[in-house]
């Protein structure tokens, strides 16, 4: 593979050095950070040449850490040696240590503004700034996302790749028809999206682990995904085929589960899923229930357009009038009933210190009231 160009033996400074001393005996690799180096200019030159040897021996960019250590020691011994800073910056850039590389390049330019390589290094600085901006943009996609199926997704980002995982989203009636009323409620499956982002276009795969339902096992499923990504809105719109399974457990006369009566695929429609994120670190300081239904008696697991408050732990939100068992009807003037659950909850999040206006309906009240809450930094975010 192509590694760094060897500028080490053809740059300012080497011609002015004295004869190199005899090589020191080999030593065991140092453990932990290396101590600051000290010595003569010839010692600095020796570290620079050792760094050149490390580059020649490297088989991949990841092998260049030894070269970076040697060049750094050269700059510590001879901090006014521009050539050493330039080489250190090159290796740091190849290792992905972009802030360090920029600092090294800036030091080189300050020491040798009229050097023959100054214009090229100036261009490299511009490229590094762009790379840092793109890296920050990519990393901003990582974090916690919310799904339209009420799941909390953890996203990791690298390059154009985005991987989202969820372990708390139950299978809904659009995925599973089962007589779970007579058996234990099935545990949520492991879900994962592996996505490639190219501008607004999304491709990739969706996977779900197998699920035990009563005495039946619903098999795992993998499907190809297409969709779009609205980076400004923080929204993924994904489409993929998803089977709807029937899993029935037979019962005895005492209504105890006996065995699996069969698992079949009822249909395999193309479904649409929205994911919203990543969530900012600020929120209203309350626990929210997206399965809330005013006056409901039966346990619900699916979104019905109602957003309930189960607990308020932010004193400022309590002082503003937010209470447990309130229903949030609108967020900053946007009606909750017209949103999917992920988008509704995401609108409650924002930068700590910012204000959000909620239209809420207190329990047994006939008319909603508007309150304003200043978002707080949430623990663990």
How many alpha carbons fall within 13 Å on the CB side of residue 100? Answer: 15
Torsion angle in degrees (nearest 10) through CA of 163, 169, 175, 178: 150
At residue 173, φ and ψ (nearest 5 deg) are -65, -20
d(CA 238, CA 229): 9
Helix H segments across the chain?
A: 41-57, 65-77, 82-94, 98-111, 118-139, 315-320, 341-346
Question: 143-276 adopts what CATH topology?
Answer: Lipocalin (2.40.128)
SS3 state at 196: strand
**Local structure of residue 293 (DSSP, 8 states):** -
d(CA 191, CA 378): 26
Please list the rounded mean pLDDT of every run of 10 residues in the chain (381 residues): 42 32 37 64 95 92 91 96 97 95 97 96 97 92 88 93 94 85 76 96 98 93 98 95 93 77 95 95 92 61 83 94 95 94 92 96 94 91 61
pLDDT at 380: 66
The percent helix, strand, coil of the chain (3-state, each to 5) is 25, 30, 40
Query: Which class in CATH covers the domain with range 282-377?
Result: mainly beta
pLDDT at 17: 31
- How large is the greatest C-alpha to C-alpha distance in the chain, in angstroms? 98
Q: Model-level pTM?
A: 0.73
Pick the CATH number of 14-18+34-138 from 1.10.150.120, 3.40.50.11540, 1.25.40.10, 2.30.110.10: 1.25.40.10
pLDDT at 179: 79
In the chain, where are the structural domains located?
14-18+34-138, 143-276, 282-377
**Local structure of residue 285 (DSSP, 8 states):** S
């Amino acid at each position: 593979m192509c590694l760094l160009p060897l500028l080490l033996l053809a740059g300012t400074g080497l011609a002015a050095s004295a004869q190199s001393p005899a090589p020191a005996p080999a030593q065991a690799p140092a453990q932990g950070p290396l101590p600051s180096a000290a010595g003569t200019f010839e010692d600095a030159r020796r570290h620079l040449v050792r760094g050149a040897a490390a580059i020649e021996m490297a088989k991949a960019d990841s092998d260049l850490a030894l070269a970076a250590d040697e060049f750094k020691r050269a700059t510590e011994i001879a901090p006014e040696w521009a050539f050493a800073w330039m080489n250190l910056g090159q290796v740091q850039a190849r290792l992905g240590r972009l802030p360090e590389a920029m600092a090294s390049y800036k030091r080189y330019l300050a020491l040798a503004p009229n050097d023959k390589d100054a214009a090229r290094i100036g261009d490299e600085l511009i490229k590094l700034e762009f790379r840092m901006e793109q890296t920050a943009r990519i990393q901003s996609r990582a974090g916690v996302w919310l799904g339209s199926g009420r799941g909390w997704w953890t996203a990791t980002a690298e390059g154009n790749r985005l991987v989202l995982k969820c372990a708390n989203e139950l299978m809904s009636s659009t995925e599973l028809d089962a007589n779970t009323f007579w058996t234990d409620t099935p545990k949520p499956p492991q879900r994962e999206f592996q996505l490639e982002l190219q501008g607004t276009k999304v491709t990739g795969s969706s996977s779900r682990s197998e699920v035990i339902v009563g005495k039946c096992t619903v098999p795992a499923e993998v499907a190809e995904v297409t969709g779009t990504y609205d980076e400004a809105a923080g929204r993924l719109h994904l489409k993929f085929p998803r089977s709807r399974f029937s899993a029935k457990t037979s019962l005895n006369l005492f209504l105890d589960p006996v065995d699996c009566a069969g698992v079949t695929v009822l249909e395999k429609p193309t479904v649409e899923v929205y994911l919203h994120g990543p969530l900012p670190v600020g929120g209203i300081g309350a626990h929210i229930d997206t399965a809330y239904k005013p006056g409901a008696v039966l346990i619900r697991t699916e979104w019905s357009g109602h957003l309930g408050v189960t607990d308020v732990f932010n004193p400022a939100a309590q002082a503003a009038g937010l209470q447990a068992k309130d229903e949030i009807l609108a967020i900053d003037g946007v009606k909750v009933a017209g949103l999917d659950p992920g988008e509704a909850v995401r609108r409650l999040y924002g930068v700590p210190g910012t204000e959000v206006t909620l239209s809420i309906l207190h329990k047994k009240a006939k008319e909603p009231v508007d309150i304003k809450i200043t978002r707080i930094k949430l623990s663990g975010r």
